Structure 1
Amino acid sequence: RKKAGSSDNKTNAFFDWVPAGDVAETRNIVNRDACSKSHGDSKLHRGYAIELCVGCHNKNSFDPFTGTGTPTLATTDTALPGSSSVILERLVHKVHMGKNLVNGYSINGEDYSTLEYPSGVMSSGTTPNPSNCAVCHDESNAAMTDAANWRTTPTASACGTCHDSGAALGHIAQESVGYETCTVCHGVGKALNVPAAHGLQ
């Protein structure tokens, strides 16, 4: 992504680009508007925009503090044994699940295992819980063209971040051999569709 705008990233514009003139593929799932419901206008970590977050928090990034070796500056993408991925979907889901995770979660030396999501009451006047994916995956936001993915195309990588019990992870692994079959049971219109399984119907 190419960044343009102010020296801070609060009002920056972002441009998706790919080499050789191919069509850019975007995933507009969650944007800063969703974060602001709970976090207000505060800067999160290094910035305001999700488009900036994914520059570092992608599938090639790992937290060296969770590995079994000594943290060092690496010259390759090879992760230390046991290192935890900091891809954005995993990081955000686990931090917000906090105390509801079976196995807890620590990243960058911080333990989020007792975090209760969220403190206070949302601007909508309802008290959310981590099972309500729609709090952040806001389909009423027209700019988020993929906001419904959480219920229409559930994936092992996303769902396995919150459903972390041995039984859940075993089930996910079993249904992901060769290709994922999540939507067979958890797809739209199925008896165990995601909103129903989360008690939202």
Structure 2
Amino acid sequence: MAGQSPMVIFSLTDRDGRLDPAALNRLRFSLSGPNADFDFYEQEDALGKMVPFGNDWAFTFATRVPGNATGSWTIGVEGRISGVELTEDLSINDQMQNVTMPFSVDGSAVAARRDIVDDSTCEGCHSNLSLHGENRHDADAYCQTCHMPGATDEAVRLEGNDESIHFKYMVHKIHMGAELENGYVVYGYRSSIHDYSDVHYPGDLRNCEGCHNEGTYNLPIAEGALPTFSPNTVINPMLPETAACLSCHDSDVAAIHADSNTGGLGEACSVCHGEGKTYSVERVHAR
């Protein structure tokens, strides 16, 4: 509940059955919310802090859900076993699946975050897509818990304006790659530079369902979606529909068009680009 520290009750198993926690060298739980669109993220180490709970285990966050929180939030988990021997001379890390679980903080009905993509679609091209030490590999739910609308590379960037790493904005940028007018460069772990400006998407960029679930790319965007914080763009922050479009269409002309159709009451994009309209997303992206 709001103002309290969540407790997670869980089991640990592998293909052979119950798993001794001593076999793990990483087990972390994350707390994110609200599920309408994430703007809060904390991750805590559970190793050495979990306690037996019957035949299962329990971990209690030190972090409290904010006292003013409402609706549904999400618990996530990542972990791995290191040094799994494949042969006498070869061992690997074995990562667990990134399970996410929505829960209510105020007694209201539990509502998961909206489904936009399916990880199996990502795997159709990437084949076991996993990042950050191969600990994170669930692109339809877990990645978004950290890659929130307000997330940037500020903490590791060595020079220049921060770049947004909001999941929808980042993925659009990476896939657009060489077709962008202004490129896309982000700083990562230990300030490593990741320049996606020469990426050539192997499919048809007009095919939104190459990544998206059916119909999830139409306007208007779901109520509750938050603006994208992007100090490296001429519009900052960008309201949700503007961010979705300008992440690919990054010219100054496109930005002027989006800005001229945005006012104090919000965005008017769906008047022309909404589902069924003359210049709907489906129509202008038609192949």
Corresponding residue of 2:76: 3
Corresponding residue of 2:138: 49
Corresponding residue of 1:26: 113
What whole-Å deviation, never above 9, does each CA across 1:61-99 have from its counterpart, x for those lacking one?
211255757xxxxxxxxxxxx211211011111011000
The 1-side partners of 2:168 and 2:96 are apart by 21
Matched, 1:151 2:232: no
CA 1:67–1:173: 2 relative to 1, 3 Å: farther
Corresponding residue of 1:85: 164
Corresponding residue of 2:204: 129
The 1-side partners of 2:280 and 2:101 are apart by 35
More strand by proportion, 1 or 2?
2
The 1-side partners of 2:247 and 2:78 are apart by 34
Corresponding residue of 1:162: 248
* Structure 2 contact 176–205 (Cα < 8 Å) conserved: yes
* Structure 2 contact 184–196 (Cα < 8 Å) conserved: yes
Q: C-alpha displacement at 1:25, in angstroms?
A: 5.0
CA 1:63–1:198: 2 relative to 1, 3 Å: same
What whole-Å deviation, never above 9, does each CA across 1:139-166 have from its counterpart, x for those lacking one?
2xxxxxxxx1312425112111111000
Query: TM (normalized to structure 2)?
Result: 0.54
* Larger-gyration structure (1/2): 2
Which structure 1 residue ranges, 4+ long, deviate > 6 Å from structure 2? none
Query: TM (normalized to structure 1)?
Result: 0.75
Q: Secondary structure at the match of 1:41?
A: coil
* Structure 1 contact 186–193 (Cα < 8 Å) conserved: yes
The 2-side partners of 1:9 and 1:93 are apart by 27
CA 1:27–1:9: 2 relative to 1, 3 Å: farther
The 2-side partners of 1:175 and 1:98 are apart by 26
Number of residue pairs the alignment of both structures matches? 170
* Structure 1 contact 67–84 (Cα < 8 Å) conserved: no
Q: Secondary structure at the match of 1:159?
A: helix
Unaligned runs of 5+ in 2: 1-73, 81-94, 188-192, 222-240
The 1-side partners of 2:271 and 2:194 are apart by 37
The letter for the 2-side match of 1:62 is: T
Q: C-alpha displacement at 1:44, in angstroms?
A: 3.7
The 2-side partners of 1:167 and 1:30 are apart by 29
* Structure 2 contact 118–213 (Cα < 8 Å) conserved: no
The letter for the 1-side match of 2:211 is: C
The letter for the 2-side match of 1:84 is: E
* Structure 1 contact 47–53 (Cα < 8 Å) conserved: yes
CA 1:41–1:25: 2 relative to 1, 3 Å: closer
CA RMSD of aligned residues (A): 2.2
The 2-side partners of 1:36 and 1:96 are apart by 15
More helix by proportion, 1 or 2?
1
The 1-side partners of 2:168 and 2:261 are apart by 20
